[in-house]
């Protein structure tokens, strides 16, 4: 089953020839904050999926071309992200010509996981404004794991049951020495979509190919078989740190091929079995307020490598 958020944050099921609005079937949907509708739908999914699936057959389908798709989880309680989870990406970052050439790039075993703010989420067709004109910002193509249950301390063996589904994800990143949550936490730095595909439609999480293009040029080609920590291990590790809630997102890491994103670029991600996600980069980078103060100038230039 494919679940989408569209128009004014309504929730729907995606079929081949359109989308079915089921917002009115999410319990308590009217009075609650719309950003919570998908969270509630995910939380209730197991007990109500048959009822909702029936609506796919009985309700009018809205052509996809007539809706504006939104990020499928507009406001998760958190986005947890894997810092370096593909060996070839680890090598490209610290290798000759890499962004951090000469630095020893470590992996999750050294860095642990990090958090991106929920406000960094963007959706299909959104435009992202780069925060700095003089600093390199990269694309990272990833598969996003959507959590389906409230859990803590799950083992790797239990983790599969906790995964509700998957979505496409880009982990945009300013390069430099600041901590990851700062460099990767700007508004729009976590596009997700185009929808969530539930796990039952993704038979093998370790066999998913994905690609990212910039202005039509293929830049990244990855495969989840190459992950250092599998999706289940990531869920297990994340759940040992924090309680996971329905709708939480885990960014599972990027393969090799990361590269610079420039104003005016168009990014396009295709994930096997999920779908395609495109976002635009605004033609001009952000401009800080004129009276920002001289202290801010140090943030406008990249310094050093991350620890």
Element at 48 (helix H, strand E): helix 37-58
Handedness of CA 106, 122, 127, 124 (dihedral sign): positive
CB contact set of 88 (below 8 Å; sequence gap of 6+) = 226, 255, 256
| Range in contact with Mn ion (rule: CB under 5 A) among 1-9, 44-52, 112-120, 246-254 | 246-254
* Closest distance of CB 286 from Mn ion, Å: 21
DSSP state of 165: E
Name the closest residue to Mn ion (Cβ). 171
Applying CB under 5 A, among 235, 254, 257, 275 the residue interacting with Mn ion is 254
Contact 297, 288 (CB under 8 A): no
Among 47, 48, 249, 277, smallest CA distance to 164 is for: 249
* Closest distance of CB 142 from Mn ion, Å: 6
d(CA 196, CA 34): 17
| Range in contact with Mn ion (rule: CB under 5 A) among 63-71, 231-239, 250-258, 276-284 | 250-258
| Range in contact with Mn ion (rule: CB under 5 A) among 14-22, 93-101, 132-140, 281-289 | 132-140
Interaction of residue 171 with Mn ion, rule CB under 5 A: yes
Interaction of residue 137 with Mn ion, rule CB under 5 A: no
* Closest distance of CB 44 from Mn ion, Å: 30
Q: What are the residue ranges of helices labelled H in 68-154?
A: 87-94, 108-111
Interaction of residue 252 with Mn ion, rule CB under 5 A: no
List the strands of the sheet with 259-260, edge to edge: 173-174, 137-139, 259-260
* Closest distance of CB 51 from Mn ion, Å: 37
Q: Match 């009276």 to its residue by tokens.
A: 291
* Closest distance of CB 169 from Mn ion, Å: 9
How many residues in the shown chain lie near Mn ion by CB under 5 A?
3
Secondary structure (3-state) at 42: helix
Q: Which is nearer to Mn ion, 118 or 254 (CB)?
A: 254
* Closest distance of CB 2 from Mn ion, Å: 24
Give the per-residue contact string, 84-123, with Mn ion (x = CB under 5 A; - = no).
----------------------------------------
Binding site for Mn ion (CB under 5 A): 140, 171, 254
């Amino acid at each position: 089953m494919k679940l989408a958020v569209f128009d004014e944050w309504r929730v729907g099921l995606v079929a081949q020839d359109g989308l079915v609005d089921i917002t009115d079937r999410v319990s308590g949907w009217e009075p609650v904050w719309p950003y919570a509708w998908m969270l509630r739908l995910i939380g209730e999914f197991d007990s109500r999926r048959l009822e909702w699936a029936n609506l796919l057959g009985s309700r009018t389908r809205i052509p996809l071309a007539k809706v504006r798709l939104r990020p499928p989880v507009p406001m998760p309680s958190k986005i947890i992200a894997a810092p370096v989870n593909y060996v070839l990406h680890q090598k490209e970052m610290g290798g000759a010509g890499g962004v951090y050439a000469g630095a020893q790039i470590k992996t999750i075993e050294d860095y642990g996981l990090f958090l991106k703010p929920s406000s960094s989420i963007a959706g299909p067709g959104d435009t992202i404004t780069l925060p700095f004109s003089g600093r390199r910002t990269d694309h990272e193509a990833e598969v996003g794991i959507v959590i389906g249950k409230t859990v803590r301390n799950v083992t790797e063996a239990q983790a599969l049951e906790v995964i509700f589904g998957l979505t496409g994800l880009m982990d945009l990143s300013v390069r430099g020495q600041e901590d990851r949550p700062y460099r990767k936490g700007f508004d729009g730095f976590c596009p997700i979509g185009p929808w969530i595909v539930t796990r039952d439609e993704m038979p093998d999480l370790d066999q998913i190919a994905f690609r990212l293009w910039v202005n039509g040029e293929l830049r990244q080609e990855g495969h989840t078989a190459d992950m250092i920590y599998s999706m289940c291990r990531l869920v297990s590790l994340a759940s040992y740190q924090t309680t996971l809630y329905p709708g939480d997102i885990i960014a599972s890491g990027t393969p090799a091929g990361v590269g610079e994103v420039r104003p005016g670029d168009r990014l396009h991600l295709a994930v096997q079995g999920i779908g395609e996600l495109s976002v635009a980069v605004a033609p001009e980078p952000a401009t800080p307020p004129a009276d920002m103060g001289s202290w801010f100038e140090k943030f406008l230039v990249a310094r050093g490598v991350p620890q």
